[in-house]
Structure 1
Amino acid sequence: MQISQLPYADPGVPDVRSGTRFLVWLGRMQLGGQVRSLLWGLLLQLSIAGLPVGVGLAVQAVVDRDGGGLALGCGVVAALGCGIAVGDTMLHRTAVTNWITAAARVQQLLARRTAELGSLLTRRVAAGEVVAVSTGDVEKIGWFVEAFSRFAAAVLTLLAVCVGLVVYEPALGVVVAVGVPALALAALPLLPRATRRADTQREKAGKATELASDTVAGLRVLRGIGGEELFLGRYRAASQEVRRAAVRSARMWALIAAVQVLLPGLLLIAVVAYGAGLVLDGRITVGALVTVYGAVALTHHPLRNVEEIAMAYAFSRPSARRAARVLALARVTGPAADAGDRKASGDLYDPLTGLIAPAGLLTAVVCGDPDAAGRLADRLGGHPAEPGDDHVSVRLGGVPLDELSLDAARTAVLVQDKEPVLLSGTLRELLDVPASGAVRPEDALSAAQCGDVLDALAQASVDGDGDPMRTRITERGRSLSGGQRQRLALARSLVTDPEVLVLDEPTSAVDSHTESRVAAGVRKLRAGATTVVLASSPLLLDLADRVVLVHEGRAVAHGTHRELLAGEPRYRAVVTRETDDEPAAVTAGTEALEGETA
């Protein structure tokens, strides 16, 4: 795989059982690149390790006054120099390719999973963790995949050096063959502690990123309540914890690096001292001592790769574990999910709660618990809200949603989250979404009561004609109020014109007058289509064809708003916020509502 061929047509199905298995899967998926990097790494490392041979031949030739031997030694050094130049260049090229392609594969997998899960992703995983995985973690995972082939080349090179020295000069070669493996394994006792400290650092960094993300997202609210200093203090504290954890982690890696410098130096001293004695005894030549000395001195290069792979694994393993945790989240599908373009229509039925939304009607659902309402909205969209819910799928016209392909399921049922996100771009781009074509953007904007939003965008338009459709909306719509963002998101959902539209508190950020007009607009535009609204506003509930009360996870009552208000105490308690001390106030409020609607 080359960088020019990105993105992948199919990034594959990852092994997400653990972080280590995910790293192994990534390496296996890039086997060709790993082999190329290994071969170029062997050329580089063996060329470096072979330099002492040429130098030893040249030195011995000078001692023996042998011109031919000197020429041979210089020729060997020159050839090995060319091998180093070519190997280093090509190794860098293939290693960077492995790094980038591995990171791109992970990013593609994350992007696909994010698109598949939608808003459900941030319900199950903190937003800060998603950001950490898609940025810094991706780089660290790519680093390990890239470093592994160089590590394999270093191990093979060390093995070749030890075997070669034993064959070339057994007396000194045995010392090197025993000492080099000990050097490579010397840092192992320190790795568990270094890994734990690296894990702690990454965990604290993830929490700090999450805190920063949440603070930026809620900056407008924080300024309104004067909470900037409070959250700034919290972020300072979290940042200092990250700094301290990073320093503690760096100390361990500095100790490992010191060991990798100290022990080879001691081995080199031992080889020189022992070899000098052998030269004085006449058992080996000066050239042989120079060769062995040079070979031992240059083992620091492959040994650095051993240290690097240990560091890469320590930093990438928690990153891979987080990525695997995100990628393990999936839309549960039945055995018939890929059986062609299967479609469904009819009543929407949730077996878990017993909720029925008849086809063609506006059904309002009242839940006393807002979190329960959010989980129910997820279920109606085909996503199990709880780990044990995946065996009971919501049915549309008798067809389980998990037996539909993802495209078919999203065409059939669209869920608008309680806090929808607006992407940056023009208003025309915002409303340019996959749709049936039956609803015009102008009609959707009108139904969602976006007149004031259009006026504000027209004033901010860069065009002379003040076309609001060409005005750019800032990231996440932060230049708009909460109610304006909510209504634009509602208009976007209405444009898609799905078989079933599920709205979770679509008017929670608007005033009562606007809410009434929005409810009427949605009812008119969605006439004859199935619409489910999870809300507790009497103005919206009174316009619904059918109202269902979900209490403690079960649909316990249904009827019109007024019927339930008069005959169902649990419904009345949720809608009117009734308490035991306020029966008279509730009655007065009900009468006022009836008088207003009359």
Structure 2
Amino acid sequence: MQIQDLPYPDPGAPDTRSGPRFLWWLGRNQLAGQLKSLAWGLLHFLSVCGLPFCVGLAVQAVVERSGARLALTGGLLLLCGAGIALGDVMLHRTAVTNWITAAARVQQLLARRTAHLGSALTRRVAAGEVVAVSTGDVEKIGWFVEAVSRVSAAAVTIVVVCVGLVVYQPALGVIVAVGVPVLALAVLPLLPRATRRADVQREKAGRATELASDTVAGLRVLRGIGGEELFLDRYRRASQEVRTAAVRSARMWSLIAAIQVLLPGLLMIAVVWRGVQLAHEGRITVGELVAVYSSIMLLTYPLQHFQEIAMAYSFSRPSARRAARVLSLERATDSDGSRAACQPAGDLYDPRTRLLAPTGRLTAVVCGDPDMAGLLAERLGGHPAEKSTPVLLGGVPLDELPLDSARTAVLVQDKEPVLLSGSLRDLFDVPASGKVSAEEALAAAQCADVLDALVQGSPHAGDPLDARITERGRSLSGGQRQRLALARSLITDPEVLVLDEPTSAVDSHTEARIAEGIRKVRAGRTTVVFTSSPLLLDRADRVVLVHEGEVAAVGLHHDLMHSEPRYRAVVTRETDDEATALNGVLAELEEIEESA
């Protein structure tokens, strides 16, 4: 896989049982790229480590006054130089390719999982953690995957050089062959502590990222209630904790780096001391001594890669663990579906709560617990937070349908829908039946003032649909964003439309007109609205009260206001004392009517 071939046609099915298993899976899926990097790495490192032998031969040729051998050595030096240049360029090229393609594979997997889970993702994983995984963690994972082949090339080079030194000059080669493994393994006792410190740093950085993401997302609200400075202070403290943890981690890695400089120096001193003795005794030549000394000096270059792989693994392991956690999330229902693709129609029924939404009618649902309303809306959409009895549409369980069919049949608009940046035309470029035009949807959602605001912000837009929307619609008010999202949902014209508090941020006059617009556009279609607004409830064909997870009452808004105290308490937001007093008044009125 080359960079120009991205994205992958199929990124594959990852092994998400643990972080190390996920890293191993990534490496196996890039075996061809790893082998290319290993080959070029061997060429580069062996050429670098071949220079000392050439230098030793040249020195010995000068000592022996052999011009032919000196010329031969010069040719070998040119060959090594060419190998170094070519190997370095191609090693960098293949390493970067491995890095980018590994990161791209992880990002594709995350995007696929996000589309698979939909709105359930951020209810099961913090939004900040998803951001951290898709940005910084992806980079760390790619770093480790590409570093494996370079470290493998460095390890093979070290083995080849040690064996060559033993054959070339056994008296000194044995010292090098014993000392180099000690150098490579000397930092192992420090790695667990360095890894723990790196984990702490990554954990604190992840929390800081989550806090920053949540703060930015709620900045408008925070400013409205005067809580901006409070959250900024929290982020400053979290940022300082990250800085402190990073300094502690850097100290440990600097100690490891210092050891890897100190120990090779001690090995060179030992080799030179012993080599001088052997040369004085006439057991080795000056050229052999120079070759062995130079080999040890250049061995520090491939040895540095062992420190890099240790750092890469320490930083990528928690990143891979977080990525594996996100990628292991599954829908509570069968995503593939056991039925063939179809478009079911009929009543929407939830066996768990006994909620029934008759086909072609507007059903309003009142929940005393707002969180319960959100969970129930998810269930009706076919993607509950946990496994449970499936919701039925026309008698067909939604979890037996393929994911695409289920989402086409039932559309759920969250309480806080997201608007992506782009033009208004892009916002409305969604799968739709074609029966509801953009103009009809905008009119039903009362978006005239929204269009005016967008056109003013995009003076060069000839068509209002070409007006630009900023990221998340931040230039618009909460009510304007809510109405645009409602218009987008109306355009799709699904078989069943579930709306969770679609008018919570608009005034009562606009809300009344929106209620009429929804009835008109959704005529003959099944619509479920979770709300406690009397204006919406009064225009519903059927009102359902859900209390403590079950349907407690069904009727019309006017009738339930008089006959159901629990319904009245939720809609009017009356206190217990007020409810008791009102019940007393109603009881007295009934007695008066009976006596009359």
1:135-174 matches, cutoff 5 A: 135-174=135-174
Are 1:187 and 2:187 counterparts?
Answer: yes
SS in 2 for 1:68: helix
SS in 2 for 1:180: helix
Are 1:583 and 2:579 counterparts?
Answer: yes
Corresponding residue of 2:500: 504
Q: 1:493 aligns with which of 472, 489, 492?
A: 489
Corresponding residue of 1:429: 426
Moved more, 315-324 or 161-170: 161-170
Contact 1:576-1:586 within 8 A present in 2 as well: no
Residues 162 and 352 (structure 1), Cα distance of their counterparts in 2 relative to 1, 3 Å cut: farther
CA deviations 1:454-489 (Å, max 9, x no partner) are 232333341386x42221111111111101100110
Corresponding residue of 1:222: 222
Amino acid at match of 1:412: A
Corresponding residue of 1:522: 518
Contact 1:57-1:72 within 8 A present in 2 as well: no
Task: Provide the aligned length of Structure 1 versus Structure 2.
Answer: 586
| Structure 1 residue 234, shift from structure 2 partner | 1.6
Residues 364 and 272 (structure 1), Cα distance of their counterparts in 2 relative to 1, 3 Å cut: same
CA deviations 1:549-569 (Å, max 9, x no partner) are 222222333222233333333
CA deviations 1:269-323 (Å, max 9, x no partner) are 1111112112212222222221211111111111111110110111111111111
Corresponding residue of 2:267: 267
Q: 1:455 aligns with which of 431, 435, 452?
A: 452
1:266-415 matches, cutoff 5 A: 266-334=266-334, 337=337, 340-386=340-386, 389=387, 391-415=388-412
Residues 509 and 326 (structure 1), Cα distance of their counterparts in 2 relative to 1, 3 Å cut: same
Corresponding residue of 1:438: 435
- Alpha-carbon distance between aligned partners in 2 of 1:586 and 1:464, rounded to the nearest angstrom: 56
SS in 2 for 1:581: helix
CA deviations 1:175-220 (Å, max 9, x no partner) are 1111111111111111111111111111111221222222222222
- Alpha-carbon distance between aligned partners in 2 of 1:318 and 1:463, rounded to the nearest angstrom: 48
Contact 1:132-1:206 within 8 A present in 2 as well: yes
Corresponding residue of 1:571: 567
SS in 1 for 2:159: helix
CA deviations 1:385-406 (Å, max 9, x no partner) are 13xx2x5322222222222222
* TM-score computed with the length of structure 1 as normaliser: 0.94
Residues 586 and 286 (structure 1), Cα distance of their counterparts in 2 relative to 1, 3 Å cut: farther
Residues 50 and 340 (structure 1), Cα distance of their counterparts in 2 relative to 1, 3 Å cut: farther
Corresponding residue of 2:593: none
SS in 2 for 1:582: helix
Corresponding residue of 2:130: 130
Contact 1:343-1:404 within 8 A present in 2 as well: no
Amino acid at match of 2:396: V
SS in 2 for 1:516: helix
| Structure 1 residue 143, shift from structure 2 partner | 0.7
CA deviations 1:102-122 (Å, max 9, x no partner) are 111111111222222222221
- Alpha-carbon distance between aligned partners in 2 of 1:536 and 1:399, rounded to the nearest angstrom: 30
Contact 2:446-2:513 within 8 A present in 1 as well: yes
Contact 1:56-1:73 within 8 A present in 2 as well: no
Corresponding residue of 1:52: 52
Corresponding residue of 2:592: none
Corresponding residue of 1:66: 66
* Unmatched segments (≥5 aa) in structure 1: 591-598
- Alpha-carbon distance between aligned partners in 1 of 2:333 and 2:390, rounded to the nearest angstrom: 9
1:464-475 matches, cutoff 5 A: 467-475=463-471
- Alpha-carbon distance between aligned partners in 1 of 2:383 and 2:242, rounded to the nearest angstrom: 36
Corresponding residue of 1:595: none
Amino acid at match of 1:397: G
* Unmatched segments (≥5 aa) in structure 2: 587-596
| Structure 1 residue 57, shift from structure 2 partner | 1.0
Q: 2:541 aligns with which of 540, 545, 550?
A: 545
CA deviations 1:207-239 (Å, max 9, x no partner) are 212222222222222222222222222221111
- Alpha-carbon distance between aligned partners in 1 of 2:131 and 2:581, rounded to the nearest angstrom: 48
SS in 2 for 1:329: coil
| Structure 1 residue 584, shift from structure 2 partner | 6.7
Give 4+ residue runs of structure 1 displaced > 6 Å after superposition.
587-590
* TM-score computed with the length of structure 2 as normaliser: 0.94
Contact 1:19-1:321 within 8 A present in 2 as well: yes
Contact 2:422-2:469 within 8 A present in 1 as well: yes
SS in 2 for 1:119: helix
Identity value in percent: 74
- Alpha-carbon distance between aligned partners in 2 of 1:589 and 1:285, rounded to the nearest angstrom: 116
What RMSD in Å do the two structures reach over aligned CA positions? 1.9
- Alpha-carbon distance between aligned partners in 1 of 2:2 and 2:315, rounded to the nearest angstrom: 26
- Alpha-carbon distance between aligned partners in 2 of 1:345 and 1:589, rounded to the nearest angstrom: 46
- Alpha-carbon distance between aligned partners in 2 of 1:344 and 1:433, rounded to the nearest angstrom: 20
Moved more, 26-35 or 211-220: 211-220
Contact 2:421-2:473 within 8 A present in 1 as well: yes
CA deviations 1:18-38 (Å, max 9, x no partner) are 111111111111110000000
